[in-house]
Chain A
Amino acid sequence: MDPGVRLMERVLARDASAFEALYDGYHRLVFGIGLRMLGDPSMAEDLTQNVFLKIWTAPDAFRGGSFVAWVSRVARNRALDTLRSKAVHPESEIPADLPLEGALDDDVFSRLDAQRVRDALAQLPPEQRGLIEMGFFGGATHQELARRTDTPLGTVKTRIRSGLKRMRESLGERVSR
């Protein structure tokens, strides 16, 4: 089982040491998502604080499944909130938040490591890999991706779908619902 899930059960019971262990185990992930999406260490720090504070104050928001996937989505959504609040980009250029539930209930998922996912990404053609990474971490819509890469919108869609399918196949049974 995802160790984060066990720790969250204890956090729900207001176990401060479990929360500390959760922070030790996952703050680099949350900080990393913040840094890649916001591009600023101070903002990534604020985001990390906010995400973990939310975990402590509202632990029942986690309803089971993969803790890694859940906390990643919380971090990504919070980064999108920050992008919105900065009002640097029009709302239409900021993607919708990701649903936090569903499709995450898999303890195998949590055994994936960064290297394995990087290997799966590396197997993709560069044009697919670039769009997928930019899409996930860039906080941009597909139209914005098309503009940034000077690629027709239809091509962007096809590349993202093909790339995600190939990743899914590469990761095989290690990623499942």
Chain B
Amino acid sequence: MNANADREQMMESVALYALGVLPREEAALVAAFIANDDEARREYLDLRAAADSLAHTAEEPVDSVRSARMKERLMARVRSDAAAGSVARRRIGPAYPAWLWGTGLAAAAAIVFSVVTVAQDINVRGDLAAAQRRAALLQGQLAQNDRNARQDRRTLTDLLAPDAKRYDVAAGTVIVRRDRIYFAFSKLPPLPKGRVYQAWVAPKGSKSVAPSVTFTPNADGVAVVALPVDATRVGAVAVSVEPEGGSKAPTTTPTFVRPLT
């Protein structure tokens, strides 16, 4: 298949992404493509607007009893809050929960779209203890699914946000939005066996770099990487090829070094 056909397929996937019918793993790949391609980004915005308009057709009459019941429940809560003088909790600084940048993400070797399988069959035959263990496991999986979904939502939003800063680098783009930094690579060269890519960050005003996450792209050279750092404190980022497990300092010439100015 030639490059034009590949590109056309990706543009079709952009439409699927705009409509919201891509599974998570594919959505990540397409988001990386869109982040790196101006034409794809324009088409995405156009088609997303068309897809969003579909919502207008969803409005349904709600029977008066149901409508009143929902409203009464909500307004009871609202009045209670208002009476208690609660104040909207405006977020200051990072708008996202700490766990997003916690060890889970940092240690996860950086490709943020992990696959979590949802068990489909809850087999509760057998003894009660086994069923309870199974239920606890499923609860954990569902909670993890929920966290993954929120994380994906945030990452995809940041990658495509018009107000994100974008820095072209070899094989991709560095994207900075608010206090968050992402790498969106679409054409990383394959790695030799036993090697990984490793990210490096240099604090503002410093010439030395600190090690960050390691990651491996997929077979197409695509990787979406969230750096577990506060972007407002970073002066430059870099990537190099390192042994598995990462290094404390770069041992090869970096693939790129990009000041974030």
Which residues of A line the B interface, CB within 8 A?
12-14, 16, 19-20, 23-24, 27-29, 31-33, 35-36, 41, 45, 48-49, 52-53, 56, 58-60, 66, 68-69, 72-73, 76-77, 80-81, 84-85, 87-104, 106, 109, 112-114, 116-118, 120-121, 132-133, 135-137, 140-143, 145, 157-158, 160-161, 164-165, 167-168, 171, 175-177
Contact = CB atoms under 8 A, between A and B. Distances in A.
Given A121-B57, A137-B58, A164 B142 contact: no
A35 B200 CA distance: 48
Nearest to B16: A142
A82 B41 CA distance: 30
A104 to B, nearest CB: 7
A97 B152 contact: yes
A161 B53 contact: no
B160 A99 contact: yes
B49 A87 contact: no
Given A96-B22, A96-B23, A100-B157, A168 B52 contact: no
Majority secondary structure of chain A interface residues (helix, strand, loop or mixed): helix
Contacts of A68: 55-56
Sorting the interface of chain B by its residue count into under 10, 10 to 19, 20 to 34 or 35 or more gives 35 or more
A112 B53 contact: yes
Contacts of B131: none
B88 interface: yes
B52 A72 contact: yes
Nearest to A100: B157
A89 B14 CA distance: 24
B152 A96 contact: yes
B54 interface: yes
B146 A81 contact: yes
The 9 closest A-B pairs by CB, nearest first: A72-B55, A32-B60, A161-B15, A96-B27, A32-B58, A99-B157, A157-B12, A168-B50, A69-B52
Contacts of B61: 28
Interface in B109-128: 115-120, 122
17 contacts: A13-B88, A14-B81, A29-B58, A36-B58, A56-B74, A56-B77, A84-B145, A91-B115, A91-B118, A96-B26, A96-B149, A113-B56, A114-B57, A137-B54, A160-B15, A168-B50, A177-B45
A161 B11 CA distance: 8
Interface of B: 9, 11-16, 18-28, 44-62, 66-67, 69-71, 73-75, 77-79, 81-82, 86-91, 95, 115-120, 122, 138, 142, 145-146, 149, 152-153, 156-157, 160-162
Given A60-B90, A81-B146, A103-B49, A52 B74 contact: yes
Contacts of A81: 146, 149
A161 B89 CA distance: 41
A93 B115 CA distance: 12
A130 to B, nearest CB: 13
B88 A90 contact: no
A141 B21 contact: yes
B142 A94 contact: no
Given A98-B20, A145-B21, A28 B62 contact: yes
B118 A90 contact: yes
